[in-house]
Amino acid sequence: MLACLLVAFAWAGWLTLEQVLRQRAATVVRESARVVAGSILAERRAAAARGEVETVRGEHEQAVLRELRAGDLDIFITDEAEQLMAARQPELGEAIERRADSERESAAVVLPRAVRDLMTAVRAQRDAGALSDSSVVIREITIESGPARAALLRVEPEPGDEGEPALLIAALRPEQDDLQLLRQVRTTIFLAIPLALLLSIIAGFLLARRSLAPLDAIVTRTATITAASLDDRLPVVNPHDELGRLAQIINDLLGRVGEAFRRQRQFVADASHELRTPIAIIRGEADVTLRRAERTAQEYREALGVIHGESIRLSRIVDDLFLLTRVDAAAHTARGDALRRDAVDVSELVGDAVRSVRTIADTQGVAVRTVSVFDVVPPRVQGDAQLLRRLLINLLDNALKHSPPGGTITVHLAGEPGAVALTVRDEGPGIPANQRDRVFERFVHGVHDPDRAVPATESSGAGAGLGLAIAQAIAHAHGGNITLLDGTPGATFKVSLPLISSAGDHS
């Protein structure tokens, strides 16, 4: 691109310079011809005023040319018959001065053939009416020394000079100096463009190498980062340029990936710990049973009961892990293809969940109360009804586990701008301050009353510390959130889900 720009610029500059030189040469010869014509007429008037009579043909014209400072111009003055009357050529000036007056007509200064041909051609054009008599004709001709710019002007005698002939004035300017200048410019261009390209290549290479050095450092450092060194970070030389922002973005990505790896490792460790206990119990019961030669039917029944209970617990943990995997996949899918997208009536969902835990609540002596402020049209959200039901069951099961006998669990359904708010409040001991930040983490067990053994609902993940984590994951997958509200006694969890249609009085 730089080469094309330089060539285009040089070509445009060349054409401009050539055009300027041509116009300047044309202006010089045209104005010189006019000056000579004016000087001749002035000399004739001055001679007439002095009463002088021209004794030699062309005397006045030659006197004008002798006094005229025409630089490098060649000037020829002829009559209408193209007979040379006066001439000025720098290289023949001294010869002209040494000529005798009687020999003027046969002077050594000969009208160049190119000038004579120009005069003949212009006279033919004027006779044909193509040119006016007073116009200055500019032509490019070739003389012995090379190309030249010529101006031809016809001078008519003034009134009172009837004896004077009409004159043809030809002013020639050789173009050797202009051609030499053009050759020098061309040589300069031919040398300057490759040199400029070479310098630009070297400078561009050095600049690119220096500019891309941080990128090379980023690539080298990134290649050394593995799963075991996710805490390493890329160097940020200038945080305000593009490469600095790229390094910061990659560092942020490494931070998120490292956090995800840590959570994954912690999840695997916690899951292994939770699975190890029921498996160890099952294996222990089986080993004890098989170690004895003879056991009673009651002993076998008790051992199988323990194995059956731990198998149920193990199945629940595995089911919860699969459910978490499904919900996480749905939350990280751009279009949410892993979830059903049905219109779900939240009021019906709350009623169904409350009916599911009513029997266990009655067994514990805990009352479950529902309060709804949607008077006209029930709130509707878009999502998977089974997962949303699991969310509510987990919250209710958590409240049942921590509610004392005679306590009350309140489920409050209300509206918010563009969302539905559902709160579940119990009257238990609440959540300690040091556990509030970790209450939604996986495998984090809440507060339990050691004096009470509370049965869990069929779908809950009680005992593994996954209930609230599953509920929060389901809420996030549906574009909502669960928050733990402040206040005592008990614990209050608030679920916010986006509405797809609502009407009526939201108060």
Contact status, residue 477 vs residue 381, Cβ threshold 8 Å: no
Q: How does pLDDT run across 130-139, given as a tens digit for each residue? A: 777 678 888 8
Does pLDDT of 112 surpass 70? Answer: yes
Contact 395, 412 (CB under 8 A): no
pLDDT digits (tens, 9 = 90+) for 65-79: 877 776 778 888 888
Query: Residue 275's pLDDT band (boundaries 50, 70, 90)?
Result: confident
- Return the percentage of the chain with pLDDT > 90, whole number: 6
- Span 415-419, mean pLDDT? 82
Q: What is the pLDDT of residue 380?
A: 84
318: helix, strand or coil? helix
More confident residue, 326 or 188: 188
**Higher per-residue confidence, 133 vs 147:** 147
Is the per-residue pLDDT at 89 higher than 80? no
Max mean pLDDT among 179-183, 416-420, 460-464 falls in 179-183
Q: With 0-12 CB in 10 A as exposed, 13-18 as middle and 19+ as buried, what is 495?
A: buried
pLDDT band at 504 (very low <50, low <70, confident <90, very high): very low
Is the CA virtual torsion 370, 371, 376, 382 positive or negative?
A: negative
**63-75: string of b/e by CB count within 10 Å (b at 16+)?**
ebbeebebeebbb
Q: What is the pLDDT of residues 25-38, one digit of tens each?
A: 999 989 888 888 88
| pLDDT given at position 85 | 81
How confident is the model over 95-112, as a mean pLDDT? 51
Q: For position 109, what pLDDT does the model report?
A: 58
45-54, 84-93, 312-321: lowest mean pLDDT where? 84-93
- List C-alpha distances in Å: 237 to 225, 233, 242, 409: 19, 12, 11, 58
What's the pLDDT at 83?
Answer: 81
Among 329, 425, 340, residue whose Cα is nearest residue 387: 340
Mean pLDDT of 261-275: 77
- Give the mean pLDDT of 125-129: 80
Tell me phi and psi for residue 369, to 5 degrees. -120, 140
Contact partners, residue 229, CB within 8 Å, separation at least 6: none
Task: Give the DSSP letter string of 70-91.
Answer: -TT-EEEEEETT--EEEEE-GG
Where is average pLDDT lowest: 259-263, 310-314, 461-465?
461-465
59 vs 42: which has the higher pLDDT = 42
Say yes or no to pLDDT of 333 above 60: no
Q: What pLDDT does 107 receive?
A: 45
Percent of the chain with pLDDT over 70: 85
Task: Write down the pTM of the prediction.
Answer: 0.49
Highest mean pLDDT among 86-100, 195-209, 325-339: 195-209
Mean pLDDT of the chain: 79
Q: Give the Cα separation of 313 and 458 in Å (integer).
A: 10
Quote the distance between the C-alpha of residue 249 and its chain's center. Answer: 16
pLDDT tens, residue by residue, 423-434: 899 888 888 877
Residue 450 is predicted with a pLDDT of: 41
- Identify whether the C-beta of residue 114 lies closer than 8 Å to the C-beta of residue 142: yes
Contact predicate 496/421, CB 8 Å: yes
Per-residue confidence band for 363, with pLDDT thresholds at 50, 70 and 90: confident
Confidence of residue 435 (pLDDT cuts 50, 70, 90): confident
**Rounded mean pLDDT, 159-167:** 72
Q: Residue 379: what residue type?
A: P
- Determine the Cα–Cα distance for residues 321 and 303; give it in Å rounded to an integer: 27
The pLDDT value recorded for residue 53 is 65
The pLDDT confidence band at residue 20, using thresholds 50, 70 and 90, is: very high
Q: pLDDT value at position 184?
A: 92
What pLDDT score does 289 carry? 80
What end-to-end distance do the CA atoms of the chain give, in Å? Answer: 69
**Tens of pLDDT along 446-495?**
544 444 434 444 444 345 677 888 888 888 888 889 988 876 678 889 99
Mean pLDDT for 45-51 is: 78
pLDDT interval class at 8 (50, 70, 90): very high
Going by pLDDT thresholds of 50, 70 and 90, the confidence category of residue 125 is: confident
